[in-house]
Amino acid sequence: MKFRTGLLLGTAFLAGLAVGPGALRLAGSGDFPGAAIAREISHDNSAETVRLLTLLGTVIDVVKAEYVHPVSDKDLINNALDGMVGNLDPHSSYMTAAQFHDMQTEISGKFGGLGLQVQAESGHVRVVSPIDGTPAARAGIQPGDFITMVDHKSLDGMTLDAAVRKMRGDPGTKISLTVIRPKTGKTMTFDMVREIVHVQIVKSALYGSAGYIRLTEFDDALESDMHAAFTKLKAQAAKAPGGKLTGLIIDLRSNPGGKLDQAVAVSDDFIKEGEIVSIRGRHPENNQRWDARGTDITNGLPIVVLTNGGSASASEIVAGALKDHHRAIILGEKTFGKGSVQTLIPIGDQGAVRLTTARYYTPSGRSIQGLGITPDIPVAETKDDDAYGYREADLSHILTNVGGNRTAEAPRTDLPDIAKSIPKMPPANWPAFDLTKPATDFQLQQGLKVVNAMAGVANNTPATAQATEVKASAPATKPATQPH
């Protein structure tokens, strides 16, 4: 049975986020596999299979006859399909036609939201990441928070889809979220106003002679916008003392992933040759490998990549490729550890299945599934940071890490001498971290020290340095249609 639609590399569902889409990819629809599956079942003479299918029908009959109020066949079968697919792993799911339509509405960017990436965990709704510049991020919601109430009404027992529907609404309408923060055990309430959220996926700044580019998610426009931002940084540096760009920091912190082709394109911009990533699934004919094409837009400038526990999926592809090729130094915290690829398979007009179909592997042949990318220089975000204790490995029934290179990862021997003196966490008197204030960003400041040392430049960018932002264009707000 052969079919292929779109490849996805996101970590979570989008709760009130109008994007184009970081966690979704739709390609040309392939052959609907349902008929082939039905033929396989009908030709299966296994007595155990017949017994289990009979059991399913019997349970449906019992529930319809005895449940406290009437239940339709449609609801029962949708529930069965949801459990059948959703319990395979945290990233597979069945979507009804209505849910599939809602996903397409998210892609269009024509609804009000908060800018939250959320995921179901043991029957609860947990925040994967708030997106920069959105109501959720401005309010102070953090990765790992559990959302327990919407408008002071409990989400207990509610599906993730139902919870997301409650968080959506018309732009300008008020909403209240109650969360439990596991780090402190505190219950907190955030009052916000829904917005049409257009995420600026590329942000850039110049610190002395070092460039800084932040990538917030991997959508259709990411690589082209990043390339434009880098070009502007070079022009800006040419007018500053010294007359040129001497290094680059790529910030992938709390970037939940997105499109595989964009992760490959970004990696290709910095790696001249060799493998970038490969994917391997159940069917060998669908295995693929992507290689660099002989370009490096920086002409070999030193690069530092910032990561944390919210750097997932496509972000991990980029970090893993740059690390394995020794093209960049990874500084920060271990990444999320999502090493799987999802395919979106439309089921006629009945909905769709988002199904895990492959694992991906870094150039050294390693699967990061459940493990993540370990930084070359570990640096915590705050002095009381627990290194983002919510990762792929913490989810229920995760995909196993199999295949690939199983040898222990050898420590790098090409780190600059300054790496030995970089503190693992901020000092006690460091100001409270605020991503919008570079002076409070301890990981960024350590990254600047490292990239300047690699370039042989004096560290002339103290914590009080201010960024000059170079804005890239807004993301695309239509479904992706190009193949990976």
Q: Tens digits of per-residue pLDDT, 9-57? A: 554 444 443 222 233 333 333 344 444 444 455 555 678 888 888 999 9
Predicted pLDDT of residue 119: 78
Buried b / exposed e over 69-92, threshold 16 CB at 10 Å, is: eeeeeeebebeebbeebbeebbbb
pLDDT at 327 over 90: yes
Predicted pLDDT of residue 463: 40
Predicted pLDDT of residue 289: 96
Predicted pLDDT of residue 461: 52
- Mean pLDDT of the 343-356 span: 88
Helix (H) or strand (E) run with residue 468 in it = none
For the entire predicted model, the pTM comes to: 0.80
- Write out pLDDT tens, residues 429-477: 999 887 778 999 999 999 999 999 999 998 765 444 444 443 333 333 2
- Write out pLDDT tens, residues 71-85: 999 999 988 998 999
Q: Considering only CA atoms, which of 266, 248, 249, 269 is closest in space to residue 257? A: 266
Q: Are 265 and 321 a contacting pair, CB within 8 Å?
A: no
Predicted pLDDT of residue 474: 36
- Write out pLDDT tens, residues 130-174: 877 889 989 999 888 999 999 999 998 787 878 888 898 888 999
User: Looking at the annotation, which residues are catalytic?
Assistant: 313, 324, 338
Q: Are 217 and 256 a contacting pair, CB within 8 Å?
A: yes
Please report, as a single letter, which amino acid is at residue 390.
Answer: Y
What is the C-alpha to C-alpha distance for residues 27 and 263, in angstroms, rounded to an integer?
Answer: 17
Domains, the chain, in order of start with CATH, read: 112-196 (2.30.42.10), 202-467 (3.90.226.10)
What is the C-alpha to C-alpha distance for residues 405 and 371, in angstroms, rounded to an integer?
Answer: 13
Please give the angle made by the CA atoms of 428, 434 and 435, to the nearest 5 degrees. Answer: 125
pLDDT at 288 over 90: yes
How buried is residue 42: exposed, middle or buried, by Cβ count under 10 Å (0-12/13-18/19+)? exposed
Please report, as a single letter, which amino acid is at residue 222.
Answer: L
348 pLDDT band, cuts 50/70/90, is confident
- Write out pLDDT tens, residues 392-402: 887 778 888 88
Give the 3-state DSSP-derived string for 228-239, with helices as H, strands as E and coil as C.
Answer: HHHHHHHHHHHC
127 pLDDT band, cuts 50/70/90, is confident
For the beta sheet containing 303-307, the strands, ordered from the edge strand earlier in sequence to the opposite edge, are 377-378, 329-332, 303-307, 247-251, 210-215, 202-207, 470-471
